[in-house]
Structure 1
Amino acid sequence: MKGMRFFQSVQSKIIIIYVLLILMAMQLIGVYFVRTMERSFIDNFTSSLNTQADLLAGFSKRYLTEGQDAGPSAEAKKSNAELNEIVKLFNISDAEIQIIDANGIVLTTSVSSKASLIGQKSTQAEVVSALQGIKDIESVMVDSDGHRRKVVAQPVSEGAKVLGAVYIVASMESLYGTMNRINKIFLSGTGIALAFTVLLGIVLAHTITNPIKEITRQASAMADGNFSQQVSVKGPDEIGQLGNAFNHMTNRLKEALSLNEEEREKLSSVLANINDGVIATNDQGTVILANRKAKQMLQPASDDMTDRSIWDVLGLEEGHIGQYVQGEHQIATIEIPNEEEGDFVTLRVVFTPIHRRGIGITGTIAMLQDITEQEQLENARREFVANVSHELRTPLTTIKSYLEALDDGALEDRALSHRFVGVMRNESERMIRLVNDLLHLSRLDSRKGLVSKVPTNVLDMLEEVADRFSFQLDQKEISIQIEVAHDINEIMLDRDQIDQVLDNLVSNAIKYTPEGGAITIRASRTNKDWLEISVQDNGIGIPKKDLARIFDRFYRVDKARSRNMGGTGLGLSIAREIVKAHGGTISLDSELNQGTRVSFALPIPPLEGEAV
């Protein structure tokens, strides 16, 4: 495997390519050099043989001429002996020299072992051609030993007359031996050159691949999130330019990731602190992200939302989710049980599909908004409108019916008409009280009911309240007791508005306390800076189920009885708003058939000129 990896590396490819290029170049040069050298050696060898054959032909011309003139005489033998001496002078290594007369008879030979050929006719084709006057005859022959020999034949002529021929057969083995030695030297040089080439290729490949390896290591480090390292640039070449470009890319990526991380932190902070719940899903509807608010809204309905389907988390039908995601409805309303308060939390869910170019919808963002208070306010508004309409309709219907009765003839009956007018007057006053209460509440809600605080003696204020209701108290034989702590004298408050609160509380106590009952008004300090005033009776009390809504507008425990007593159902609401405008709190405790205690606490501001 390591060997395969080596051959797959850029370094090995560069080395192999470099070595192959050098090897091919050296082979081409070697083949050309060897072929050229071989041709040169052979040509020089042949030229040397031809030169010696020409010289020998020139020396032997006189002897061949004398031999032909003398015939087979002693003079001819002498001439042949002299030719033999001349042939021996031309001592060519590993060669045979023959002098042949015009008849093709071998006159002499340089090889003593072939002396038997003297006097015999030569049948060599080269000799035949030379005797015909053809010059520079040459050929190559291979003897029985496999040795290559060069054959050269030159005619010996005088003018147009051919006197004989010179025949030389020289061995070429020394020439080819020299060629083989040169080839071996060349191969050795090639091997040494290839070794140096491999070393140089390794060095060259290292100079190219080392920066690439460094860039690869840096890329791996970047993939692991390490952007602190830089690629070392060692030159202005292409590798150096690549290193500079990579370092620039590293810095830009580092900046981009830092910016992305900063944006992610901002997004995480926004998601963590946003007042709306956020749930993100993938294209399969599986929850992949939910912020803290969403978990709080859906707890304990869903302990862990991640990897769960969104319809399971939200309690919706699976088939309907597709409609919301595709944008057909986009908004859904769900209710989550609130175990702490024993009721339900109403949530509005707004679905927004996530689109990716070329792919389509890849997920969904669901925004959860708690609209419980909004729904309660809307229900309260509807109930308020219905209550006002009902409260106005009843007296208006009464007035209309009495007017119709008067118009039908009851006006002629003085006693009856007087009673009808009295009823209509009472109903009109009731409507006026209702409208005044609504206007008062409106001013308090819009903060237009300014609090004008003046120094007020608490004991005097409570005694005046008792005096205002003395007639009603005497009628029902109800006793009233006022208890003011000794450390309470004058405090700063809006006398008119607090009188209105006390009048409402004492009026309610008188209404719902039977004859012979008792009412107690107490004033005390709960601590140094707070005044608490309470109105307690021993009347019919209020059921526990109604205590939570007793301060709501138009809320009555016994609607028919309260209406008959002239109440509008706004008294306690106005009292609560006045107390809140003073920065205080109001509460009510009651036991059915045991009585009711309403208390409100006000902060005690310093009197004018008093040290704070």
Structure 2
Amino acid sequence: MKGIRIFRTIQVKLIIIYVLLILIAMQLIGVYFITTMKTSVSDSFSKNLNDQANMLANIVEQTLSPAAQNTDVTYEQTIQDLRSKVNALFSINEAEIQVLDASGKVLMTSVQSQQSYVGRKNTTLAVNRALQGFRDNEEDIIDDDNVRKKVIARPAFYQGKVVGAVYIVASMYEVYETINRVNRIFVTGMLLALGLTAVLGVLLSHTITSPIKVLTRQATAVAEGRFDRKVPVHGEDEIGQLSEAFNNMTQRLQEALSVNEEEKEKLASILSNMSDGVVAADERGVVIVTNRRAREMLGVKQGEGLPLAELVRLEPQRIEELLRGFEHAALIRTDTLEQTEGEGGIIRVTFTPISRRDKTTAGTIAVLQDVTEQEKLEQSRREFVANVSHELRTPLTTIKSYAEALEDGAMQERELGERFVGVIRNETERMIRLVTDLLHLSRLDSSQSAVRRQATNIQEMLEEVADRFSFQLRQKAIRATVEAEPDLPPIRLDRDQIDQVLDNLVSNAIKYTMDGGRIAIRARRPDPASVAIAVQDTGIGIPQKDLNRIFERFYRVDKARSRNMGGTGLGLSIAREIIKAHGGTVTLESEWNEGTTVTFTLPALQEGDGA
């Protein structure tokens, strides 16, 4: 495996390619050169041999012609003379030369070991063709010793008649030996050239791969987040340009990542501190991101990895409908919010699809908003409008009924008319009180009712309240007591508004306390910075189920009885708003048929303290 990995490197590939290119080029050149050289040497050898065969054929023609034979020279002298000419003029190394007469009989041979052939017929195909007058008689043969030889047979003519032939067999060993030597020289040169090429390839590839290795190490460092290193630039060639471009890319990538990290931190900070919850899911509907507020709203410690439908407690089909429909929001209820015990929270979930460039959906964003208070305010508004309408409609209906009765003749009876007018007057006063209380609440809600603080003696203020209700107390035989801690210093408050609060609390205590009961008005300092005033009675009390709503506007425990007693249902609401305007708090403790205690605490501001 290690060897295979070596061949995967660019350096080795470059060397192999470089060597293979040189090898292929040299092979092509070698094949062309060797083929050309072989053809040239062979053609030169054949031409030389043909020239000698033609010259020898001319000699044989002159020697064996009938004109030469009619002279006084004997036949043996002619043959001897022919042998001398052949031996003198033709000295072809390792070549066999035979001179044949017209019948194919060997007249002479240049090879001493073949003198026995003299007088015998040469029956080879080339000789037979030559004796038949064919001039082109050449062939290559391989003898028993595996030596390649060239065979040439030429006819000798006299006046168009064949008078003999020349037969030459020449060895081509020297020719092929020369070719082999050239081949060996070429192969040796090629091996040397390949060796030098490999060395040069190593050096050349190193100059190319060394910067690439540096680039690779730097790329790995960049991938690991290290941007402090730079690639050295050694020139202005392509590698140098690539190194410079890589350095620029690294710098820009570092800047881009820095900006991305900053944006990511900003986004994380925004998501973490948003008052709304944010949940992001992928295209499969699996949650990938939740912020802290969303987890608090949904009451989970970890939302990532859960299905979106399970996390927001909606059916997947419902989520699909919201994503595709005109309305993208839905209300869900949960009891995990920090609401009053026994009450649940209401969350509005708005779904928005995340789209890719190709218009496909890449995921879903769900924004969660706590609309519990809004829903409560809306419900309170509806109840307020309904209560105001009801409170006004009842006296208006009564006034209308008695006015119609007066119009129909009740005015003729003085006693009855006066009673009807009295009812109309009482209902009108009741409406005036209701409207006055509403206006007072409106001013308190809009902070238009200024708190005019003045130094007030708590003991005197409480005694004056008891004196104002002395007549009502005597009517119901209720015993009232005023208790204040000694040495209570004067505190700064709006006397008129606090008197209104105390009047409301004492009036309620008298209304709901049976004859012969007791009412206690107390003042104490729970700490140096505040004063607590409490109104305690032994009346009928308030059921536990109504305690949480007793300060709501128009809320009555016994609606019919309260309305008959002339109450508007706004007294405690006004009292709470006045106490809040003073920077204090109000609490109510009660048990059914055991009495009620209302306590409000005010800051103990004295002369010189900030208002």
**Which TM class, normalised by the smaller chain length?**
0.7 to 0.9
Does 2:544 match 1:532? Answer: no
Shift of 1:176: 1.4
Distance 2:597 2:129 in 1: 159
Aligned pair partner of 2:312 in 302, 306, 314: 314
Shift of 1:435: 0.8
Distance 1:449 1:423 in 2: 33
1:320-335 alignment, distance < 5 Å: 320-335=318-333
What TM-score, normalized by structure 1, do the two folds share? 0.83
Deviates more, 1:47-56 or 1:270-279: 47-56
After superposition, the Cα gap between the structure-2 partners of 1:135 and 1:315, relative to the gap in structure 1 and judged at 3 Å, is: closer
Match of 2:384 in 1: 384
SS in 1 for 2:270: helix
Match of 1:30 in 2: 30
SS in 2 for 1:350: strand
Does 2:362 match 1:354? Answer: no
Match of 2:576 in 1: 576
Shift of 1:444: 0.5
* Cα deviation 1:394-448 (Å, max 9, x = unaligned): 2212211211111111112222222222222122111111111110110000010
Equivalent residues of 1:327, 1:351 under 8 A apart = no
Equivalent residues of 2:348, 2:368 under 8 A apart = yes
After superposition, the Cα gap between the structure-2 partners of 1:314 and 1:98, relative to the gap in structure 1 and judged at 3 Å, is: closer
1:476-491 alignment, distance < 5 Å: 476-491=476-491
Does 2:69 match 1:71? Answer: no
Shift of 1:497: 1.4
Distance 2:322 2:271 in 1: 22
Distance 2:111 2:235 in 1: 74
* Cα deviation 1:325-383 (Å, max 9, x = unaligned): 32254222222235971222122222222233436334322222222211211121111
Deviates more, 1:205-214 or 1:597-606: 205-214
Distance 2:197 2:373 in 1: 86
* Cα deviation 1:444-470 (Å, max 9, x = unaligned): 000100111122233333333233223
Distance 2:567 2:86 in 1: 169
Match of 2:401 in 1: 401
Distance 2:602 2:403 in 1: 48
Distance 1:372 1:390 in 2: 26
Distance 2:548 2:365 in 1: 38
Equivalent residues of 1:67, 1:80 under 8 A apart = no
Shift of 1:295: 2.1
Shift of 1:165: 8.8
Match of 2:466 in 1: 466
SS in 2 for 1:363: strand
Match of 1:502 in 2: 502
After superposition, the Cα gap between the structure-2 partners of 1:439 and 1:72, relative to the gap in structure 1 and judged at 3 Å, is: same
Match of 2:343 in 1: 343
* Cα deviation 1:50-80 (Å, max 9, x = unaligned): 7778999999999999986863459x84994
Does 2:59 match 1:87? Answer: no
SS in 1 for 2:354: strand
Count of residue correspondences: 608
- Amino acid of the structure 2 residue aligned with 1:384: F
Match of 2:435 in 1: 435
Deviates more, 1:396-405 or 1:90-99: 90-99
Equivalent residues of 2:60, 2:82 under 8 A apart = no
After superposition, the Cα gap between the structure-2 partners of 1:332 and 1:167, relative to the gap in structure 1 and judged at 3 Å, is: closer
Distance 1:128 1:103 in 2: 9
- Amino acid of the structure 1 residue aligned with 2:180: N
Taking every aligned residue pair, what percent have the same amino acid on both sides? Answer: 57
SS in 2 for 1:596: strand
Shift of 1:601: 1.7
Structure 1 residue ranges without an equivalent (≥5): none
SS in 1 for 2:275: coil
Distance 2:253 2:532 in 1: 67
Deviates more, 1:400-409 or 1:318-327: 318-327
* Cα deviation 1:486-527 (Å, max 9, x = unaligned): 332332221221221222222222222333333333333222
After superposition, the Cα gap between the structure-2 partners of 1:406 and 1:139, relative to the gap in structure 1 and judged at 3 Å, is: closer
- Amino acid of the structure 2 residue aligned with 1:565: M
Equivalent residues of 1:88, 1:110 under 8 A apart = no
Deviates more, 1:551-560 or 1:12-21: 12-21
SS in 2 for 1:343: coil
- Amino acid of the structure 2 residue aligned with 1:20: L
SS in 1 for 2:335: strand
**Structural RMSD (CA):** 4.3
Match of 1:366 in 2: 366
Equivalent residues of 2:490, 2:606 under 8 A apart = no
Distance 1:393 1:125 in 2: 149
Deviates more, 1:495-504 or 1:429-438: 495-504
Distance 1:124 1:377 in 2: 132
Deviates more, 1:135-144 or 1:411-420: 135-144
After superposition, the Cα gap between the structure-2 partners of 1:100 and 1:309, relative to the gap in structure 1 and judged at 3 Å, is: closer
Equivalent residues of 1:286, 1:310 under 8 A apart = yes
1:172-191 alignment, distance < 5 Å: 172-191=172-191
Match of 2:293 in 1: 293
* Cα deviation 1:543-602 (Å, max 9, x = unaligned): 332222221111222222222222111111111111111111122222333332222222
Distance 1:73 1:282 in 2: 123
After superposition, the Cα gap between the structure-2 partners of 1:131 and 1:472, relative to the gap in structure 1 and judged at 3 Å, is: closer
Distance 2:514 2:171 in 1: 160
Match of 2:555 in 1: 555
Distance 2:99 2:407 in 1: 181
Equivalent residues of 1:84, 1:110 under 8 A apart = no
Shift of 1:2: 5.6
Equivalent residues of 2:79, 2:107 under 8 A apart = no
Deviates more, 1:375-384 or 1:339-348: 339-348
Distance 2:211 2:243 in 1: 8
- Amino acid of the structure 2 residue aligned with 1:490: P
Distance 2:308 2:68 in 1: 131
- Amino acid of the structure 2 residue aligned with 1:309: P
* Cα deviation 1:253-310 (Å, max 9, x = unaligned): 44434433333333222222222222233334333333222222222xx565444333
Equivalent residues of 2:99, 2:167 under 8 A apart = yes
After superposition, the Cα gap between the structure-2 partners of 1:566 and 1:61, relative to the gap in structure 1 and judged at 3 Å, is: closer
After superposition, the Cα gap between the structure-2 partners of 1:246 and 1:88, relative to the gap in structure 1 and judged at 3 Å, is: same
Deviates more, 1:335-344 or 1:363-372: 335-344
* Cα deviation 1:463-489 (Å, max 9, x = unaligned): 332332232233333333333333323
Equivalent residues of 1:97, 1:168 under 8 A apart = yes
Shift of 1:611: 11
- Amino acid of the structure 2 residue aligned with 1:407: E
1:173-212 alignment, distance < 5 Å: 173-205=173-205, 207-208=207-208
Shift of 1:24: 2.5
Deviates more, 1:434-443 or 1:23-32: 23-32
Equivalent residues of 1:279, 1:291 under 8 A apart = yes
Distance 2:6 2:414 in 1: 126
After superposition, the Cα gap between the structure-2 partners of 1:475 and 1:161, relative to the gap in structure 1 and judged at 3 Å, is: closer
After superposition, the Cα gap between the structure-2 partners of 1:332 and 1:166, relative to the gap in structure 1 and judged at 3 Å, is: closer
Shift of 1:217: 5.8
SS in 1 for 2:541: coil
